[in-house]
Structure 1
Amino acid sequence: MPAGEHEFVVVANRLPVDITIEDDGSLSWERSPGGLVTALAPLMQKNGGGWVGWSGKVGFEHEPFDAEGMRLCPVPLSEGEIARYYEGFSNATLWPLYHDVIVPPEFHRAWWNTYTSVNRRFATAAAEAVAPGGTVWVHDYQLQLVPSVLRMLRPDVKIGFFNHIPFPPVEIFTQLPWRHQVVEGLLGADLVGFQRPGDASNFLRAVRRLTDLQVRGPQVTVPGRWSRPDRAVRAQAFPISIDSTAFEELARRPDVLERAKQIRVELGSPDVLLLGVDRLDYTKGIRHRLKAFGELLEDGQLRVPEACMVQVASPSRERVEQYKTLRDEVEVTVGRINGDYGALGRAAVHYLHHSYPATEMAALYRAADVMLVTSLRDGMNLVAKEYVAARSDLGGALVLSEFTGAADELTHALTINPHDIDGTKATVMRAVNMDRKESRRRMRGLRRRVMQHDVQRWADDFLGYLAMSVPPPPDLRPPETPRLGTQPPATDENRPDPTDEQPTDEQPTDEQPTSKETT
């Protein structure tokens, strides 16, 4: 297969822009929000990178085009392929299976066949885009077969894969009828990244159970074929993060701080404002959170209007039946709580089923006294990190499920088992009644982690490890072109600590505005 021209190619389910087709057939686009685009866009713009993905529009076919300083390579998907590959196999088979079978996964051969064919199409597009000896970074559970197909098409390139959701224990994973094919697909990569060390361990256990390959520590040895040498595949945790500095600066803007005050006034100036922010997904534990809050009202530990909750539940996969059912259940629960405990003009739960811009979310984070993250299973949960980044005033408290990837890092949060309703209620009340000194100490520790380990560090670390994998043959390296990811992974010793500038008890905070906040 002829090689492309891009030293660095990203392969993801979606392109990094939202495309609009004008009446005259021309294209316009806006950059999509999200940490992945934020982390990789500068690197791709600097090196003329390519991005392979679906446009988000049914049947959209277009030649590669330039946008946001990148070459975008659209992969067309038909209505049937979206139904079987994305809504079917990705989100009704893999998603529930990888999230501890919270709901039963469905196994359909037609879905698997479409998943296979679509993955081949993505791999072919990547193979046509990447330059000799280049680097390809494949993302997430929708594209787990791409590494092995790409390896066959382009054995000269380095391939990384990152799984943004959990990888299940082998006892659950082996329920998948096509478990061998998925493992073989991932082993096409040189580096397989996960959110948590436990996810990497689960994958390595699956390799031991389902193959006869040698596994030593985090490394799998894949025997060579024909004239190709043996290959080493490394599985390791690389916890993803957010653009911490940018989000902190957004939350410190005067208009955002003013909006935060306005939100509290609009809610009746409660003494305690609890906040939940999620996609409307059964993995997020929204029903458990509402149950705990309802019982706190029933017990009299919290009362309306002195306390209220805001629950933002942005729409998600609304054509999937399980998500339709979840929405009905959540809305019935909210209605019951408000009917039992609300007052005239003072709802107990303010339920918002739509998405908000980043400025409004930052204002909500600044307004909230307690952030509730009650996921039943979550690869990371970046909402928790956004809340921490927004709280440069060292105010607020984070209640965090132990079943999130974020719990491994945010050890100063108050952790809960969301299935334990009594334990969750006790922890929420501990957060509500926490004294200011402990609250500030905990938030300072949380911010130290979030501000230091940002999304750029995540990308640098992953690409640094990928660069240390076996290099391509020397004759495939363009001698004048600097290689991507040649810097070693950042360490705590050689990276400056962004928290050196963070407020302390002796430094000004938002209660005592600094020049940065007032300009």
Structure 2
Amino acid sequence: MQSGDTPYGEFEFIVVSNRLPVDRVNDDDGNGSWRRSPGGLVTALAPVMEKADGAWVGWHGAADEALESFDHSEIRLVPVPLSAEEVEFYYEGFSNATLWPLYHDVIAPPEFHRHWWDSYRKVNERFAAETAAVAAEGATIWVQDYQLQLVPKLLREARPDLKIGFFNHIPFPPLEIYAQLPWRRQVIEGLLGADLIGFQRPSDASNFLRCVRRFLGLAVRQQQVQVKGADGSPDYVSRAEAFPISIDVQRIVDLANRPDIIERSQEIRRELGNPRHILLGVDRLDYTKGIGHRLKAYEELLADGLIQVEDAALIQVASPSRERVEQYRLLREEVEGAVGRINGTYDTIKNTAIRYLHHSYPVEEMVALYLAADVMLVTALRDGMNLVAKEYVAARTGNRGALVLSEFAGAADTLRQAILVNPHDIDGLKSAIRGALDMSASEATRRMRTMRRQVLQNDVERWSKAFLSELQKGAREDLLV
């Protein structure tokens, strides 16, 4: 870590995340270059970083390779090297086989291994050291997500002059579940190094503060915690609040109005035989997304005769995810087996019950699918937000279509005009799907107009500005007297 004698860095605003906001691409001659990654976080923060002399600290995606810092789109990128073993232990292990299932209400059992924790701690130390080295005096640091929960405290110990924010993109579990983590104190202490800790939902912030009280014995007043400074440094206040993330609304709207994408949406309907209804699911192939529950409900609707393959088709996009992790390999086998069984039972020569697509698609194709779909199915068993739900709403420029949305997704807090469901209740899910198909045009328009207004007024840029503005405000010291 940076010592007191080390000169400050030059960057006033730094984002720290597991991955850099670029992907490496090779041309036909094998020459490599970098391309900005898709995604709302990059879109939201890039303009802020360009104006504020910003840097982004993260792994560049290749194991056992060290790169020098470089500039891309007026942002300094600071690659953090990871060994193949660290990718296995820190990322695939502790981050995605310990924290991910634990934070998603133990839908799958988390694994607790001390060598995974050791790797997680060492990698977090490396991220913190790289960040401290490039930060200007008094810089603002925004650390992103569950892979880097120890970084805030490490930064505060090394550079108490910094303003530190943290945002947790996934849920934070109830105390009774979080209690299972052997390193529960260390993780909470790591997060409390931040001046402001952001969560997707108010319930996530409340869960975190309950854990602060229970496992550290610290007083909490109106979402603020007074924390003792390390090694004689002054006490400080850490706050935990909800900042629901959103999407790049204008990009989705612009794409939805493009003639070629509108034509592609019509082509999709023709390719499916122009059914009366198209239902759509778009997910990473992850056990938190409730794909199996969705398929079960759809299969029963077919078996009950409440849906006919001549009238309706389900498109299920399941993009590849963490395919080296055993739980995900088993999930893929389970989902593809269910799709094969359903199609084998209900397909006709002309019609397919489920069009299953195990691919990732560019945003243009996704918007065409949103336009083609009459009903969007978001049946997550637990989700921090689920931006697909918001993308579907943004794309429905004609204010038609229906959204069936799990109440366990963060998006349910604001998209209250969706048909909210408990995905564990298969009968209730079947009823919701049938209700979406039978909804009158006037009712669908009323609901979609209200949801679109909410999404259009709260885009990802507004989210980032709200968080950074609150970070700069500082704590209300009068609440802790």
- TM-score, L = length of structure 2: 0.96
1:255-404 equivalent positions in 2, closer than 5 A: 255-404=260-409
Match of 1:460 in 2: 465
In the alignment, residue 474 of structure 2 is paired with which amino acid? S
What secondary structure is seen at the aligned counterpart in 2 of 1:94? helix
**Does 2:82 align with 1:82?**
no
Match of 1:500 in 2: none
Q: Distance in 1 between matches of 2:296 and 2:31?
A: 50
In the alignment, residue 461 of structure 2 is paired with which amino acid? Q
What secondary structure is seen at the aligned counterpart in 2 of 1:104? coil
In the alignment, residue 365 of structure 1 is paired with which amino acid? Y
Q: Distance in 2 between matches of 1:145 and 1:20?
A: 31
Q: Distance in 2 between matches of 1:25 and 1:336?
A: 42
Farther-moved stretch of structure 1 (414-423 vs 12-21): 12-21
Task: Say which of 192, 201, 205 aligns to 1:196.
Answer: 201
Q: Distance in 2 between matches of 1:21 and 1:297?
A: 46
In the alignment, residue 101 of structure 2 is paired with which amino acid? P
CA RMSD of aligned residues (A): 1.4
Match of 1:499 in 2: none
Deviation at 1:288, TM superposition (A): 0.2
Q: Distance in 2 between matches of 1:46 and 1:212?
A: 41
CA 96–454 in structure 1, closer or farther in 2 if over 3 Å, else same: same
**What per-residue deviation string (whole Å, max 9, x for no partner) do you get for residues 445-467 of structure 1?**
10011000100000000000000
CA 364–26 in structure 1, closer or farther in 2 if over 3 Å, else same: closer
**What per-residue deviation string (whole Å, max 9, x for no partner) do you get for residues 2-59 of structure 1?**
3210000000000000024789997510000000000000111112200000000112
Deviation at 1:214, TM superposition (A): 1.6
Match of 1:491 in 2: none
In the alignment, residue 397 of structure 2 is paired with which amino acid? S
**Does 2:153 align with 1:148?**
yes
**What per-residue deviation string (whole Å, max 9, x for no partner) do you get for residues 270-315 of structure 1?**
0011000000000000000000000000000000121110000000
Deviation at 1:228, TM superposition (A): 2.8
What secondary structure is seen at the aligned counterpart in 2 of 1:147? helix
CA 123–240 in structure 1, closer or farther in 2 if over 3 Å, else same: same
1:182-261 equivalent positions in 2, closer than 5 A: 182-225=187-230, 227-261=232-266
Task: Say which of 441, 448, 460 aligns to 2:446.
Answer: 441
What secondary structure is seen at the aligned counterpart in 2 of 1:312? strand
Q: Distance in 1 between matches of 2:18 and 2:109?
A: 24
In the alignment, residue 300 of structure 2 is paired with which amino acid? E
Q: Distance in 2 between matches of 1:459 and 1:42?
A: 11
**Does 2:138 align with 1:133?**
yes
Q: Distance in 1 between matches of 2:10 and 2:390?
A: 37
Deviation at 1:79, TM superposition (A): 0.5
**What per-residue deviation string (whole Å, max 9, x for no partner) do you get for residues 173-228 of structure 1?**
01000000000000000000000000000000000000122211200001234553
Q: Distance in 2 between matches of 1:287 and 1:22?
A: 39
Q: Distance in 2 between matches of 1:434 and 1:197?
A: 31
Farther-moved stretch of structure 1 (198-207 vs 338-347): 338-347
Q: Distance in 2 between matches of 1:57 and 1:67?
A: 18
CA 163–13 in structure 1, closer or farther in 2 if over 3 Å, else same: same
Deviation at 1:230, TM superposition (A): 1.9
What secondary structure is seen at the aligned counterpart in 1 of 2:164? strand
Deviation at 1:345, TM superposition (A): 3.5
Q: Distance in 2 between matches of 1:358 and 1:223?
A: 46
Q: Residue 157 of structure 2 contacts residue 230 of structure 2 at CA under 8 Å; is this kept in 1?
A: no
Task: Say which of 407, 410, 416 aligns to 1:405.
Answer: 410
Of all paired residues, the percent bearing the same amino acid is 64
Q: Distance in 1 between matches of 2:280 and 2:430?
A: 15
CA 425–23 in structure 1, closer or farther in 2 if over 3 Å, else same: closer
Q: Distance in 2 between matches of 1:430 and 1:25?
A: 52
Q: Distance in 2 between matches of 1:295 and 1:262?
A: 29
What secondary structure is seen at the aligned counterpart in 1 of 2:359? coil
Q: Distance in 2 between matches of 1:103 and 1:76?
A: 30
Q: Residue 277 of structure 2 contacts residue 437 of structure 2 at CA under 8 Å; is this kept in 1?
A: yes
Q: Distance in 1 between matches of 2:21 and 2:143?
A: 14
1:3-14 equivalent positions in 2, closer than 5 A: 3-14=8-19
Match of 2:455 in 1: 450
CA 225–59 in structure 1, closer or farther in 2 if over 3 Å, else same: closer
Q: Distance in 2 between matches of 1:226 and 1:324?
A: 47
Q: Distance in 2 between matches of 1:86 and 1:236?
A: 26
Task: Say which of 180, 184, 205 aligns to 2:185.
Answer: 180
**What per-residue deviation string (whole Å, max 9, x for no partner) do you get for residues 300-346 of structure 1?**
00001211100000000000000000000000000111011110132
What secondary structure is seen at the aligned counterpart in 2 of 1:133? strand
What secondary structure is seen at the aligned counterpart in 2 of 1:330? helix
In the alignment, residue 97 of structure 1 is paired with which amino acid? L
Q: Distance in 1 between matches of 2:84 and 2:27?
A: 21
Match of 1:67 in 2: 72
**What per-residue deviation string (whole Å, max 9, x for no partner) do you get for residues 430-484 of structure 1?**
100000110000000100110001000000000000001269xxxxxxxxxxxxx
What secondary structure is seen at the aligned counterpart in 1 of 2:110? coil
In the alignment, residue 375 of structure 1 is paired with which amino acid? A
- TM-score, L = length of structure 1: 0.89
Number of matched pairs: 471
Match of 2:52 in 1: 47
The answer for unaligned runs of 5 or more in structure 1 is 472-519
Q: Distance in 1 between matches of 2:228 and 2:182?
A: 25
Q: Distance in 1 between matches of 2:243 and 2:436?
A: 30
**What per-residue deviation string (whole Å, max 9, x for no partner) do you get for residues 62-116 of structure 1?**
1111011100000000110000000000000000000000010000000000000
**Does 2:472 align with 1:429?**
no
Q: Distance in 2 between matches of 1:117 and 1:72?
A: 21
In the alignment, residue 58 of structure 1 is paired with which amino acid? A
Q: Which runs of 4+ in 1 moved over 6 A?
A: 21-26
Q: Distance in 1 between matches of 2:26 and 2:215?
A: 46
CA 353–217 in structure 1, closer or farther in 2 if over 3 Å, else same: same
Match of 1:504 in 2: none
In the alignment, residue 265 of structure 1 is paired with which amino acid? R
In the alignment, residue 67 of structure 1 is paired with which amino acid? H
Q: Residue 59 of structure 2 contacts residue 81 of structure 2 at CA under 8 Å; is this kept in 1?
A: yes
What secondary structure is seen at the aligned counterpart in 1 of 2:240? strand
